[in-house]
Amino acid sequence: MPETAAHLGSGKVRELYALDDERLLLVASDRISTFDVVLPTEIPDKGRVLTGLSAFWFTRTREICANHLLGLRSDGRSMECRRLEMLPLECVVRGYLSGSGWKDYLRSGAISGHVLPVGLRESERLPEPIFTPATKAVTGHDENIDAAQAAELVGEERLAEVEAVSLELYRFAAKHAAERGLLIADTKFELGLDANGRLVLADEVLTPDSSRFWPADAYTPGGPQPSFDKQFARDYCEWLGWDKTAPGPELPAEVVEGTRARYVEAFERLTGVAFAEYASDPDVVLR
Ligand code: PZK
């Protein structure tokens, strides 16, 4: 826990602190949420895996977009970052038809104003990745919005920049992941502006919590795909017959261990770094 930092806010699974006027500390906990409920059982090292993955992607995408990362703390779960003016927009890119995108498509044949071919199946790869911005809901779920609504939030020029950067980040990451046996079905970026009005990539990026990762070897369009990281926990919750209202169930040790192994596997596949190396020196992902 930071010594003299004001707590700014809590997400479901992470915490945000102010270090000073210009710097924030983003701390990823080991909490896990499933079916929108935070479970009472933690997944050891989940926070370190997510922070390490974010730092890895920040390092490899700096030519595409500047980012807020200033440094990693030795705990491996805490990231010092630049304080930004955040854009009031979730920058979602979808390469596959899943989640709210699939629901919108079933209802209207389109997502965020992108009219898609008729007859696509759930989880199908899209003809090309699409930018599907969403509102930032304070409570409840983000809502996909079209380009006109997004332009009202950030302006037309900024929207064009945000869309181009988001698509380029996704293409870069999806290619890297596919070469390592993982599909990135979709992902959400949070962007902000620095004091000079320059666009900066913030928050956590291209982690299992901000993205849908699917194992490529099991990919079978035509229905929902197993989640790379959370499927053990979800399957266990379904098997229990839990009604998906809070509080969620405790997870048994085997489910915790299986889930932890999947997070570590995602980290190692994507970064090429042994998780134990990261744990002993988080800066390995910055090189
Ligand atoms: C910022 N959040 C999300 C909420 C969390 C995280 N670099 C930044 N500058 C200013 N604000 C933010 C960031 C970042 N990243 C991020 N809200 C504001 C959030 C609650 C808990 F851990």
H-helix or E-strand containing 23?
strand 23-28
Q: Rounded to whole angstroms, how far apart are CA atoms 238 and 35?
A: 10
| Structure confidence at residue 74 (pLDDT) | 98
Mean pLDDT over 130-151 rounds to 95
Whether residue 3 is predicted with pLDDT greater than 90 in this model: the reply is: no
Q: What is the model's pTM?
A: 0.97
Whether residue 119 is predicted with pLDDT greater than 80 in this model: the reply is: yes
How far is the centre of ligand 1, averaged over its atoms, from the C-alpha of 62 (Å)? 19
Considering all CA atoms of the chain, what is the largest pairwise distance in Å, rounded to the nearest integer?
A: 56
Whether residue 189 is predicted with pLDDT greater than 70 in this model: the reply is: yes
Model pLDDT for residues 44-87, shown as the tens digit of each residue: 999 999 999 999 999 999 999 999 999 999 999 999 999 999 99
3-state secondary structure 108-157: HCEECCEECCCCCCCCCEEEEEEECCECCCCCCCCCECCHHHHHHHHCHH
Q: Classify 2 as helix, strand or coil.
A: coil
Q: Which residues pair with 246 in a beta bridge?
A: none
DSSP code per residue over 205-258: -SSTTTEEEEEGGG--SSSPPPPTTTHHHHHHHHHHT--S-SSPPPPPHHHHHH
The minimum-distance atom of ligand 1 relative to the CA of 202 is: 15
Taking Cα atoms as reference points, which of 103, 49, 96 lies closest to residue 225? 96
**Measuring CA to CA, how many Å separate 115 from each of 77, 82, 100, 142, 145?**
40, 37, 15, 20, 13
The minimum-distance atom of ligand 1 relative to the CA of 85 is: 10
Work out the pLDDT band at 2, boundaries 50, 70, 90: confident
Work out the pLDDT band at 1, boundaries 50, 70, 90: low
Whether residue 139 is predicted with pLDDT greater than 90 in this model: the reply is: no
Mean model confidence pLDDT for the chain:
97
Token pair, residue 89, equals 């927009």
Model pLDDT for residues 248-264, shown as the tens digit of each residue: 999 999 999 999 999 99
How far is the centre of ligand 1, averaged over its atoms, from the C-alpha of 240 (Å)? 35
Q: Classify 66 as helix, strand or coil.
A: strand
The CB of 86 under 6 Å from ligand 1? The reply is yes
Mean pLDDT over 207-213 rounds to 98
How far is the centre of ligand 1, averaged over its atoms, from the C-alpha of 218 (Å)? 34
